[in-house]
């Protein structure tokens, strides 16, 4: 019977190598669906360890480890591999060598951790039964999301896993701890692209113009009423516009204004209704003020739900591996993750890996140019995932 101590020992022996993996990936980040070197790196490690794999979604890699003992159980472990278009501000020796591209969301940790778990599981395969799919997924950061593409290409088939498990870094949690939430956990996300058209002209002659800047201002304020007055107050909803471009001047009213934003919530019916209301309101306001509005909505990721029984058992295994004091409760998180696609079609558990350490300066939020992790988190990220996998397989 495989013991916790065996896994902890193996995790310790590979720790320095996994840190090296993480630093290599951090130094060589690649944008979504362009992760060619990253994919080659993953394939090289799997080949060294004798783990068979196939390519999927162009740069994705799916490995397969079969235990030697008889069992028809199949589970999947997922790590994402892409980076973000951010100029890194850290001066660490492993800082990004690809200017303007950075692993600012911890996907280098996810990839190296899954490789570490793969090493452990492969070392122990003579002692357990069941099959483990290793999903190294591209393109988490941009629509349509690599998860949706891999699902379409059959990543959850042949063999079909009974469930999928993923982990994600969280700098708000101290390294050495993990967090869980059962049920609905993360929000859906939709991208809003709005063009408000009017009639430009001289700022000193507003009576001759149809001011799209003023129309846009009314639209932005009015759309917030959909969240505050149409949404059930018990249902979290977020509407934010982070980009507004009115390319005029102090005395020039432009012909049009462009703005971009995001809408997030935790209910599919309300999600659809809110988007209908936003489009109707924006177009109506623009028309009533003499202009027009093109309200384009890019449908994004669904909400993420952690299946209750799977999450409860996974949490219990984490408590066994780390100690109850190192396993925390999580609140709803209004960020989005394309892991949600998996959770919509199979049982799923998505938990948080603490990477924060105030003394080491690793408390910056993800997507921040100073984001970094306390690499001591890698001491548990590999062994914990392997332990969870084996316990879920009944070993």
Active-site annotation, residues: 82, 140
Query: At residue 155, what are phi and psi to the nearest 5 degrees?
Result: -65, -25
Within a 10 A sphere around the Cβ of 387, how many other Cβ atoms?
A: 27
For residues 25 and 41, is the Cβ–Cβ distance under 8 A?
yes
Token pair of 283 as six digits? 């177009």
Dihedral sign of CA atoms 221, 227, 233, 234 in order: negative
For residues 270 and 232, is the Cβ–Cβ distance under 8 A?
yes
Beta strands in the chain (DSSP E): 53-56, 60-66, 69-80, 129-137, 163-174, 178-180, 183-186, 190-197, 201-202, 237-245, 252-253, 256-265, 292-298, 304-306, 327-329, 347-356
Q: How far apart are CA 352 and CA 347, in angstroms?
A: 17
Q: Is 304 left (phi over 0), alpha (psi -120 to 50) or beta?
A: beta
Token pair of 339 as six digits? 């892991």
CA nearest 200: which of 288, 291, 294? 291
For residues 261 and 239, is the Cβ–Cβ distance under 8 A?
yes
What string of H, E and C letters represents the secondary structure of 210-224? ECHHHHHHHHHHHHH
H-assigned helices in 259-366: 268-288, 308-322, 339-345
């Amino acid at each position: 019977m495989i013991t916790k101590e065996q896994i902890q020992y193996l995790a310790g022996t590979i720790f320095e190598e996994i840190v090296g993996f993480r630093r290599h990936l951090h130094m060589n980040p690649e944008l979504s669906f362009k992760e060619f070197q990253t994919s080659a790196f993953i394939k090289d490690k799997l080949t060294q360890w004798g783990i068979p794999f196939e390519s999927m979604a162009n740069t994705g890699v799916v490995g397969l480890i079969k235990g030697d003992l008889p069992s028809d159980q199949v589970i999947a472990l997922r790590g994402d591999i892409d980076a973000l278009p951010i100029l890194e501000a850290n001066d660490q020796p492993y800082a990004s060598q690809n200017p303007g591209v950075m692993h600012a969301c911890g996907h280098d940790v996810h990839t190296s951790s899954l490789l570490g778990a793969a090493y452990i599981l492969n070392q122990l395969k003579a002692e357990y039964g069941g099959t483990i799919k290793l999903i190294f997924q591209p393109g988490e950061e941009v629509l349509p999301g690599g998860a949706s593409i891999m699902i379409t290409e059959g990543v959850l088939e042949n063999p079909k896993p009974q469930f999928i498990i993923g982990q994600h870094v969280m700098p708000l949690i101290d390294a050495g701890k993990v967090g869980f939430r059962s049920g609905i956990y993360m929000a859906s996300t939709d991208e809003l692209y709005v063009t408000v058209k009017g009639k430009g002209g001289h700022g000193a002659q507003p009576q001759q113009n149809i001011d799209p800047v003023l129309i846009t201002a009314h639209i932005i304020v009015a759309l917030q009423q959909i969240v505050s007055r149409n949404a059930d107050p018990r249902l979290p909803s977020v509407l934010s516009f982070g980009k507004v471009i009115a390319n005029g001047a102090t005395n020039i009213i432009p012909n049009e204004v462009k703005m971009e934003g995001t809408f997030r919530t935790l209910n599919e019916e309300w999600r659809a209704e809110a988007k209908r209301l936003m489009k109707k309101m924006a177009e109506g306001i623009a028309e009533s003020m003499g202009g027009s509005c093109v309200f384009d909505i890019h449908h994004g990721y669904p909400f993420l739900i952690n299946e209750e029984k799977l999450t409860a058992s996974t949490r219990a295994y984490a408590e066994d591996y780390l100690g109850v004091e190192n396993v925390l409760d999580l609140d709803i998180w209004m960020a989005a993750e394309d892991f949600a696609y998996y959770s919509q079609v199979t049982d799923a558990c998505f938990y948080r890996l603490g990477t924060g350490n105030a003394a080491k300066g690793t408390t910056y939020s993800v997507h921040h140019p100073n984001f970094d992790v306390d690499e001591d988190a890698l001491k548990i990220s590999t062994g914990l995932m392997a332990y969870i996998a084996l316990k879920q397989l009944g070993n």
